[in-house]
Structure 1
Amino acid sequence: MEDRPLAELFEPATRERWRSAVEAALKGGDFEKRLVSKTADGLRIEPLYEPAAGVTQPVRAPGPWRLAQRIDHPDAEKAAAQALTDLEGGADALVLVHRDAPAARGFGLDLSSLDALDAALKGVMLPLIALRLDAGAAGFETAALLKQLVERRGDDPAALDLDLGLDPLGARAATGRLEQGWEARLSETVTSFAGYRGRVALADARPYHEAGASEVQELAAVLATAVAYLRALEAGGHDLERARDAIAVLLVADADEFMTIAKFRAIRRLWARVEQACGLEPKPLRVLAETAWRMMTRRDPFVNILRTTMASASAGLGGADSVTALPYTQALGLPDAFARRVVRNSQIVLIEESNLAKVSDPAAGAGGFEALTAELSEKAWGLFQEIEREGGLATSLDSGALAGRIAAVAQLRAKAVATRKEPLTGASEFPFLAEKPVAVLDVAPAETVRSQGGLPSQRLAEPYEALRDASDATLARIGKRPAVFLANLGPVAVHNARSTFAANAFAAGGIEAIGNDGFSDAGALAEAFKASGARLACLCSSDTVYQTEAVPAAEALKAAGAGTIYLAGKPAEADALRQAGVHGFLFAGCDLLALLREAAEWAER
């Protein structure tokens, strides 16, 4: 027996050997289509990466990221109670959401007076926490009130950790309105808060992400915003060192862990490049994170716990200094104590039990993350330069150039959602029509498009949710949902795969499937359809069975009164089926939203 390390008994692992093994496993399948994916920006995500060479990467300061909780209850007394509960339960940062902020979603605090602000923070010891203001266009006024509150309470400004969240350009992106003279007001606020710890200006990515921006577009918009604030502060008489220290950024974290980690790493690299161009020695940028609004769903909202936990973990691993996670019921209304506790505890588990914050940059040296970080940085820098050539962020927004680029990406993403290339668990995939209502303190107002001139804000699941809402309304009105009769041909073993697929697909639009064990006789099939009371039918079986039985089955269903007939599958020859009465085909990759909208209309006739 050889006395050698086990690894030496095997041939060295090489990319060529791996590729050969992959080709054998694919059995002629296309490597590019099967194993290589692309991001919204066209970046390739390979199945395998080489170890990366060491790259100097700016990182978060040692220690865990801050766990920040939104405070958005309209009642100041209840908001203060929520804040204290969150802080006692493990949070160490708060985000005060003004009722006029885009992020308020119909709720938020009245922060129009010093007493109102004081009441919302009653019992909260500001020197012990980090505080961020989310006030939108009311940012300057709210910041001035916060300064008065600090003075009233006699707190030491140097002991505070504040993010005033002033983002007039972000407000312009969200609302279409840019405050005149914002540059001077921003400069005056920085002067007013001299001696305070924290940041004054915030380059906020949320308006762009909610409009459908890609990672590159989000990074470029944030970078252009931060540079605009840098210029404004320098023009206002602040040296670049002080101006740099007054700026923070907020990026959006979603459930794509690879792109989120790479994006958060990229913003630090990009900002260091700006600092170097300004002749400054790079310092750690304050990077805040909030989980994505656009990924939240109203249907099967418990899945949001998984989404926000993955997003929080990815932001923390990517180097965020503070993470605000949306409670899982945020899209439904004002979250209750349970939802707030769940989202708080999820981060506590990530930080305290999973120890994800023990390493400042765990992605360092990983080939995939290093490659994505570098590619994102380069493409974002190129788009940032393009925005600068257009005259800066405000000019690009006014001209519609940036909005047009974002809209093009959003349109492609909407198509991916419609075809389920980008699946939404609980909404477009694995819907549950019998789900029970989830408790919230108050139901959210109807979502509306932002004012003209502002970027749109839309969750990805909204089109499917609209169909489900219409189905619920029908159920409430007549006691039953729109239904589709599954015309299963042959035994269960033959039709089960497609009948299950069809039932789930129709359920995504609120259409209930009427199942059965299958039929071998067209006459019996037609009688069962009549007895079901449905107006829609969907043929489900194997391709082999379709060749001989699909046409007579479709003719029998049509004669029995089927308003619309679908077939689960994508047959190569469809002319005979269409002539027999088959209206459409349900298959993986079809435009499911279009099919469901049409089916819902037929079901209601």
Structure 2
Amino acid sequence: MADLLTMKNASFPIPKYDEWEQEAEKSLKGKPLEKLVTTTYEQLQIKPIYIRSDIETTPEQYPGFPSYVRGTEPDGYMKKPWAVSQAISAKSPKEWNEIATYDIARGQTEIHLILDELGFSITSLEDVETMFSGISLSDYSIRLDAGACSLSVLALFIAYFHKQQLPLDSLRGTIGMDPLSALAIKGELPTSLSTLYDVMADVTRWAKEQLPLIKTIIVHGEPYHHGGANAVQELAFSFATAVEYINECLKRGLTVDEVAERMSFSFAIGADFFMEIAKLRAARAMWSNIIQAFGGSERAQKMSLHARTSYFTKTVYDPYVNMLRASAEAFAAIVGGANSLHVSPFDEAIRPADEFSRRIARNTQLILLEEAHIGKVIDPAGGSYYVETLTVQVAEEAWKLFQQIEAKGGMTKVLEEGFVQAEVEKVAKLREQNVKMRKEKIVGTNFYANLAEPPVQQRSASEQSLDEVHGNEVNVTFSGTSWMQTAVSFAQRRATAQDINAALATAGPSIAIQPIRQWRLAEPFEQLRKAAEHHSEKSGKRPTVHLINLGAIPNHKARADFITGFFEAGGFAVVKNDGYMSNEEAVKGALAAGGTHYIVCGTDESYINTVPALASELKKANPQLKLYVAGKQAPDIENTFVQAGIDGFIHIGSNCYETLVAFMKEMGVALDGQKG
């Protein structure tokens, strides 16, 4: 018994940082500890270990208290879980109704529409009636992303509520506009920015009286994220946008609280798990600080934060891996404290979602909520030395960039000057280069490509253009400043969204800028895969490389596997063998294969005596043959090999994408998918 008590009272000694440092240096075998420090795309230095002293200067924070780093509610998700807010698209209002009814019955808790991605146009009161037939908008919050201007669609909704004799104060959620986001993506706006700010202020003022539970302004970080921006840039550009909206509304007679409390933020969540958690936590702190500076109340300082898993990180090839990517991103969004979340369907980059992909996306959230019990822990990242330090670093750097934008004249000014586009493109180019070099790994695309996997079939999505809609023409004209009341009045008289938007378009000259390129990280290699597939369809075979493996399997396997993965990332067929035991056998086997491009794989030791003779014999037999060596060699050895006829060397430091492009051009593969 005494032994048991002794055991119970025993504890492990608390390790000291110096002791860890000594053990780490032993493992590094003489290399400096700085080798373990990494640099993020935000240019932040990430240490291998964080300790209590790292957060000694960070003020103690509590959930539900300013600056809301740890969340806007003291009990986190305990009383109110995040909203399962899956965006729904369809081919028609009727189909949308069927999908929404089905998904709501299976766990979706917020009705979510993105007009630019809806698949059809909401143009009339009849469309709204069809869409929400049998769906009680009083029972669910709504999130409607209207793009540059919400006036026409909001007017149709109000007309619908009047017709159904529903109380407007029962409508809750967000029906918001974000003109600068639309400008950043499209490069132009449907009417003047001044007019859109007039509408924004009037809609917000009208909603304060008529729609007390509806937010009317959305600030998106997605245009920057999906352009390749880092977390610091996303936050800085988003808050510069928000501050411009506040200032423009203040000029038009609103108070800071009236604007801030009707503003919702939306961020995409990428692959850097801890960075994305820190981004959302830093966002709440920055917003609190901004509203405080405007003299806003504590309530106005509480950020409404929607998140969506990233489109930027999703792939066309091996698309089922997207389920895993989305799961990790959703986890980060919830740990970061999002109020609502959209998980992108795994086939988002390929086709419109079907019932299966919607269900998997929706259930990803439900598993986190119901089975992983993430909502049972208030701010699970709180107190982590790493996350708390990273949150402070992200907020500080984002604040510096935000101040730089303000000093330049604000968000519209820096978009017009191209500053934002240039800053985003710098990071985008670095990301693209790292993908091409395979420093940034995309499983199933530039690493571990599976050429045998059948592709996910595409489905066509018919889109109804506004120009194709014909109803009773109503002559809509706006006079004075009562934009919202006028739009509602005309909607009740059967005006279409087209009529209202056409009237808005005449209100003043628009603005035009260079749009931010919206792309996905996997696109460079996806283009190569498609080119290889087109080549196969036309010629009967994929572009092909042959391996000349030297010696027994253990001697060549590592490099043969590396070369196989390297070329399969571009859709190449790789012809292998079990290893040649002599030069004569290697020459005979290579010539019998009848290929055009060969890579020698073996050990550095086997190369010394074998490669020069092998290259000489093969080039003598076929001068057009291309011959490469797997692995980087010393400069003098490389020079000897080149003189013998070797055309190049492929190794971990090679630019995979550029190498594959060069091979394809030599093989006559059309990189645009057309006949070369």
TM norm structure 1: 0.94
1:32 lines up with 2:61 in the alignment:
no
Q: Give the secondary-structure state (helix, strand or coil) at the position aligned to 1:288.
A: strand
Partner of 1:462: 523
The reply on whether 1:97 has 2:158 as its aligned counterpart is: no
Query: 1:328-347 deviations in whole A, cap 9, x for unaligned?
Result: 00101112111111111111
Say if 2:453 is the partner of 1:438. Answer: no
- In the TM superposition, what is the alpha-carbon distance from 1:444 to its structure 2 partner? 11
Quote the Cα distance in structure 1 between the aligned partners of 2:525 and 2:643: 31
8 Å contact from structure 2 (residues 91, 462) kept in 1: no
Aligned counterpart for 1:590 among listed residues 640, 654, 657: 654
Identify the range of structure 1 (498-507 vs 564-573) with the bigger mean alpha-carbon deviation: 564-573
| Contact 1:97/1:108 (8 A) holds in 2 | no
Which residue of the other structure, out of 168, 175, 198, is the alignment partner of 1:184? 198
Residue matched to 2:474: none
- Distance of 1:138 and 1:558 partners within structure 2: 66
Q: Is structure 2 residue 43 aligned with structure 1 residue 42?
A: yes
Is 1:302 paired with 2:320? Answer: yes
Residues 393-430 of structure 1 show CA distances to partners (whole Å, capped at 9, x for unaligned) of: 01000001111111111111111111111111111000
Q: Which amino acid aligns with 2:33?
A: F
- Alignment-mate amino acid for residue 570 of structure 2: G
Match of 1:55?
61
What are the equivalent positions in structure 2 for 1:97-136 lying under 5 Å apart? 97-98=114-115, 101=116, 104=117, 108-136=119-147
Bigger mean CA deviation after superposition, 194-203 or 467-476: 194-203
2:559 is the alignment partner of 1:498: yes
Q: Residues 8 and 171 from structure 1, CA distance in 2 versus in 1: closer, same or farther, beyond 3 angstroms? A: same
Asked if 1:425 corresponds to 2:443, the answer is: yes
CA contact (8 A) 2:197 2:249 kept: yes
Identity %: 31
1:444-465 Cα shifts (integer Å, max 9, x gaps): 99xxxxx971110010111100
2:576 match: 515
* Residues 571-592 of structure 1: per-residue CA shift (max 9 Å, x gap): 1231112222322322223211
Give 2:628's match in structure 1, choosing from 549, 562, 566.
Answer: 566
Which aligned pairs between 1:333-348 and structure 2 lie closer than 5 A? Answer: 333-348=351-366
Could you say which residue in structure 2 is the equivalent of 1:575? 639
Structure 1 position 246, deviation (Å): 1.0
The structure-2 alpha-carbon separation of the partners of 1:165 and 1:530, relative to structure 1 and needing over 3 Å to count, comes to farther
Q: Which runs of 5+ in 1 are unaligned?
A: 446-450
Contact kept, 8 Å, 2:317 with 2:455, in 1: the verdict is: no
Give the equivalent residue in structure 2 for 1:234.
250
- Counterpart residue type for residue 395 of structure 2: S
Give unmatched runs, 5+ long, in structure 2: 464-511, 670-676
Give the TM-score normalised by the residue count of structure 2: 0.84
CA contact under 8 A between 1:77 and 1:120: conserved in structure 2? yes
Please give the residue correspondences for 1:365-384 in structure 2 after superposition, counting only pairs within 5 Å: 365-384=383-402
| 8 Å CA contact 1:336, 1:441 repeated in 2 | no
In structure 2, what is the equivalent of residue 448 of structure 1? none
The alignment partner of 1:333 has SS state of coil
1:436-479 Cα shifts (integer Å, max 9, x gaps): 1224433799xxxxx97111001011110000001111121122
Partner Cα distance (1:563, 1:95) in 2? 58
Distance in 2 (alpha carbons) for counterparts of 1:558 and 1:208: 51
CA drift of 1:236 comes to 1.6
**Which aligned pairs between 1:12-23 and structure 2 lie closer than 5 A?**
12-23=14-25
Find the partner of 1:269 among 285, 301, 314.
Answer: 285
1: CA distance, partners of 2:147 / 2:591:
57
Asked if 2 retains the 8 angstrom alpha-carbon contact of 1:506 and 1:596, the reply is yes
Instruction: Give the Cα separation in 2 of the matches to 1:223 and 1:120.
Output: 34
- Alignment equivalent of 2:165, drawn from 154, 167, 190: 154
Amino acid at match of 2:665: E
Amino acid at match of 2:640: A
Any conservation in 2 of the 1:509–1:600 contact (CA below 8 Å)?
no
Over residues 143-163 of structure 1, what are the superposed CA-to-partner deviations in whole Å (9 max), with x where a residue is unaligned? 222222232333333222221
For 1:575, the aligned partner's letter is: N
Q: CA deviation at 1:138?
A: 4.9
- The separation in 2 between residues aligned to 1:306 and 1:411, in whole angstroms, is 26
Q: 145-154 vs 413-422, which deviates more?
A: 145-154
1:514-572: CA deviations, max 9, x gaps?
01001122232233223333221111111121222222223333344363222221112
1:166 equivalenced with 2:177 (yes/no)? yes
After the TM superposition, which of the residue ranges 512-521 and 122-131 deviates more from structure 2? Answer: 122-131
Q: Distance in 1 between matches of 2:534 and 2:290?
A: 54
Q: Deviations over 1:346-392 (max 9, x none)?
A: 11101111011223311111001001100000100110011111111
Structure 2: which amino acid aligns with 1:485? Answer: H
After superposition, where does 1:282-301 map in structure 2 within 5 Å?
282-283=298-299, 284-301=302-319
Q: Is the 8 A contact 2:110 2:141 kept in 1?
A: yes
Q: Which amino acid aligns with 2:61?
A: V
| Structure 2 Cα separation of the partners of residues 139 and 602 of structure 1 | 53
Task: Report the 3-state secondary structure (helix = DSSP H, G, I; strand = E; otherwise coil) of the residue aligned with 1:604.
Answer: coil
The answer for the alignment partner of 1:539 in structure 2 is 600
Distance 1:153 1:575, change over 3 A: farther
Structure-1 separation of matches of 2:348 and 2:621: 46
Residues 1:74 and 2:91 are matched in the alignment: yes
Q: Deviations over 1:48-85 (max 9, x none)?
A: 11144533551143322111111122222222211112
Q: Distance in 1 between the 2:653 and 2:140 partners?
A: 49
* Equivalent-residue separation in structure 2 for 1:266 and 1:221 (angstroms): 14
Distance 1:108 1:557, change over 3 A: farther
Q: Which residue is 1:87 aligned to?
A: 104
Structure with more relative contact order (C-alpha pairs < 8 Å, separation 6 or more):
2
Deviation for aligned residue 1:90: 0.6
Distance in 1 (CA, whole Å) between partners of 2:336 and 2:72 is 9
What secondary structure does 2:91 align onto?
coil
- Contact 2:546/2:574 (8 A) holds in 1: yes
Q: Which moved more, 1:452-461 or 1:386-395?
A: 452-461
The change in CA–CA distance for 1:230 and 1:526 in structure 2 (over 3 A counts) is: same
Tell me how far apart the structure 2 counterparts of residues 494 and 250 of structure 1 sit (CA, whole Å). Answer: 53
For 2:169, the aligned partner's letter is: A
> Letter of the aligned partner of 2:284 in structure 1?
R
Q: 1:110 to 1:525 in 2, by over 3 A?
A: same
Q: Contact between 1:41 and 1:214, CA under 8 Å: does it hold in 2?
A: yes
Distance 1:143-1:519 versus aligned 2 partners, 3 A rule? same
AA partner of residue 140 (structure 1):
L
Cα distance between partner residues in 2 of 1:202 and 1:559: 68
Determine the C-alpha separation between the residues in 2 that align with 1:354 and 1:490: 51
Determine helix, strand or coil for the equivalent of 1:202.
strand
Question: 2-side partners of 1:89 and 1:584: how far apart?
Answer: 57
Secondary structure in 1 aligned to 2:148?
A: helix
Cα offsets for 1:98-127 (capped at 9, x unmatched) = 2xx2xx2xx622112222233233332212
Does the 8 Å CA contact 1:534/1:603 hold for their aligned counterparts?
Answer: no
Deviation at 1:287, TM superposition (A): 0.3
Tell me which moved more, 69-78 or 322-331.
69-78
Deviations 1:464-510 (CA, angstroms, capped at 9, x unpaired): 00000011111211221111001111110110011011101100011
